[in-house]
A and B are shown apart, each in its own frame.
Chain A
Amino acid sequence: MLAGPLVVAQANIRVESVFEPSNISLSNAANYKIIIHGVQTNPLGSVPQVSGLNLSNSPRIFRSASFINGVPSIKTELSFEVRPQREGSFTVPSWKITAEGKKYSVPAATLQVLPPSQRDLARQREQQQQEQDLREAAFLEFSIPRPFLFKGESTSAKLSLFLWDKLPVTRIDQLPQKTGDGFSLSSLGQPEEQRNVVRGNKAYSVFNWKVGLTGALSGQNELSFTTAIRVRVKGSKNSPFGNPFFSDPFFGFGREQSLEIKSSKYKLEVRDLPSAGRPPNFQGAIGSFQASSSIDLDRVSLGDPVRLKFAIEGSGNFAAMPAPNFPDSESFRAGPPAFSFTGDNLTKLQGTQTFEYVLTPLTAGLLEVPPIEFSYFDPIQEKYQFSSSMPHPLRVDPGEKWAQPQEPIVAQESRPERISTKDLFQTESEPGEWKASLAVARPFSSSAFWILQVLGATLSCGLLFWKMKKRDPKRDALIKNEKLLEGKLNQSLKLMDATSFYQTLRKILSIRIGRVCNHDKPSALSTSELVALLRKKNFSTDISDQTELLLQTCDNQEYAAENASKVSLQEQFSKAEKLLKQLGAKR
């Protein structure tokens, strides 16, 4: 895809394509050029990919304008660098390009790639030789004592950086970095330096790092290392490859350049730990270990803490070793242990890991601090092993009060002679949750509290405003009137005043119909108009008919003074109540 600034262009548009040069040898590069006459804006399109040719993605763009025989001429030229991968004839087929909003056809172009010439071959050989020289001048070596690791196993390995003495190295730019997810590596410390190490008639200075390598992913995993050194080279444009320091009589002077050194790729197998014979208390320790333990006191008072030190000595993955669980005991309460490691702190492969448990005896008497069992996997013998500490006897005295129960009571004083601390609760062996300050948080100075108040007030005001806006005074007046009439209707029923009853009932019915059918003045409507309103509002025929009948009854009572005794008022009231409910429900 091509894009760029816009330039005004006119005249007939014509597209040409050509390889320059059209014949090259295999180790050389050519340019695939597209010339668009009459255009200065960037065209759009995608160059087709041709098997065996590598076309660069970013073309160089040239624009030109000139007068030919007094006629202005403009053109845009796109130039793609092409590198062949093999010999042969390669044709970029005709393809479409968009310029000035129109599509134009780019003609096909052919490149002949010839076999490499003697000069090319000589240059290639020289380059290979230089690369070989460089590989011999500075390289990384990695050695590990065993051809495989178990998953989680840590082993000691050696990483060596060889630097030819004649290589003008000024410093190591970057410590070796691991590549390969199958392993984890301990941090690299200061390297151990060796001078005059001879390899293949060359004298080297060697920097050795002792590292701990841990298998992380099971299977065949690749491992390699990369580092960078800084060397001094002559000239500003030449790279160590193009004009190496080996043939440069002035090397050692001039500018500094960083040089990346990659090790070979090592293949190492990481095996899963065997599941057969895995003890239930196995927590991932792999290596060769010996456990021991000690307690700081052999006699304490009830409630006083005792320190139990459980030490694991040997070689293995100390960095990934969790604390063994103190066995459940009714006689002791144990807090989480403190960790300490003595030994090779960099790789943590060899040394002594100590776990210090603070135990609180829970009962008095001659107790026994139970042994802690530690299980691990021995990668040499390839089987699980146990190592256990010794039990420790501990005498726990019940406390002061019990020691002298028969002591005679001394003269009464305002305060007891000696206050037993037994009555106080136990000393906590864990600090619990830390807080930066004792100050109690006050809500009235907290913004969160006031935000809550503002939210509540805003919500209430919003709701109130919404309710007021939703309010319809006419409708409210109808409701109020209807409620008054309902009271009057009950009164009429109580007094068995048929005239008043039917008058009131008609008014209630008309108000209710007005409300449900959104009519402002329902009392001005006749029975037929009220019923028509209900039908218009899609009330069922049954409701409409019943309403009509009831309204007619009311009309008849009012205007024709019809005898109402045919149907009792109570019965009419029940019917009206039911009908009003139905009308209300529809609303």
Chain B
Amino acid sequence: MKISFYLFCSLSLLSGFLFGENPDRLFYDAVRAEANGELRNAVQFYQEAATQSHSANLHGNLANLYFKLEQYGRSILHYRKALLLRPDDRELKTNLAFAIEISAIPTGETSQPDSSYSPSHLWGWSLALSLVFWAGIILGILVIPRTVNKSSAWAFSFLWITLIGFLGWGTYQANHASVLLAREVIVLEPQTSPSQDEKSKHIPLRRFAGSGSSANTTVQPGESLYLDLDESGKPKAHPNNSGVLWYLARSLEGSKKGWLREDEFSKILEN
């Protein structure tokens, strides 16, 4: 009985050490590690915290760290994640723009979220659209036929239709951005030594799903690509002999297209 009790206590204690780290603690550990100059440790703490929960500050700090480590793809990825949680944050937007500028990604090859029509504002757009639509209908039924003269009724209808059109367009844009975001991936740096030249950091988009395949073109870490979907709406993937998954992705305009290995990119909405 006693042995079982001690065993239980020991296991509880051990599990506390092993699994008891909450994201707050990990975040503070990361801040301290960064303060001590242990950037790699700080990244590990932040990454571990990000497996449990997300916050704009966590992804912002992680993006800053990757920037310091000159891993601009990962930096851009985490700025994008941070902006998902705080879409109107001016500092994060500025940092993202700066990271894109420093990583020398050609204009248009990575998407920068437009705050007005960002997926985070989809709820606002659709709610405003619904409210204006139904309010107009109800007002039309209640007031207009009796008390309003013809010209006022026409003016009201015109205003209402214009407003509906504007809000509908906003909802469509935000919804479109939301659909695209679900498919969007950011290309990451290969795990190579810093001494390697810039070109070796480029990721080839292969013709076929395999490392030996020739490439259509290359993409730079930090560039945005969009995964092709299969008929069931899932990303089009192909496993190779060793079980590694390859995904078919293309740029927004479709000018770049090819297969990417699963460790060469990260989805923004992953986790």
Contact = CB atoms under 8 A, between A and B. Distances in A.
Contacts of B98: 423-424
Contacts of A463: 138, 141-142
Contact of B137 (A297, A429, A441, A460): A460
Contact of A459 (B70, B94, B134, B271): B134
Nearest to A460: B137
A199 interface: no
Contacts of A457: 134
A456 B139 CA distance: 12
A431 B119 contact: no
Interface in B151-185: 175, 178, 181
A237 interface: no
B198 interface: yes
Main secondary structure of the interface of B (DSSP, over half): helix
B130 A307 contact: no
A427 B53 CA distance: 18
A8 interface: no
Contacts of A414: 104, 198
A453 interface: yes
B95 A424 contact: yes
A407 interface: no
A435 interface: yes
Given A432-B55, A449-B130, A440 B178 contact: yes
Interface string B120-155: 101100110010011001100110000000000000
A548 interface: no
A429 B31 contact: yes
A449 B64 CA distance: 37
B81 to A, nearest CB: 6
B258 interface: no
Contacts of B138: 456, 459-460, 463
Interface string B91-111: 100110010001110000000
Contact of B141 (A305, A437, A442, A467): A467
Nearest to A428: B57
Interface string A427-458: 11111111111111111100001001100110
B91 A431 contact: no
Interface stretch (B20-28, B228-236, B246-254): B20-28
Interface string B28-57: 100110111000000000000100011111
Interface string A416-430: 100101011101111
22 contacts: A305-B35, A307-B35, A358-B32, A421-B64, A423-B98, A424-B68, A424-B95, A425-B64, A427-B31, A427-B34, A427-B64, A431-B49, A432-B56, A435-B53, A438-B85, A441-B122, A449-B127, A456-B133, A457-B134, A463-B141, A463-B142, A464-B141
The 7 closest A-B pairs by CB, nearest first: A456-B134, A428-B57, A432-B57, A440-B119, A431-B27, A443-B126, A434-B53
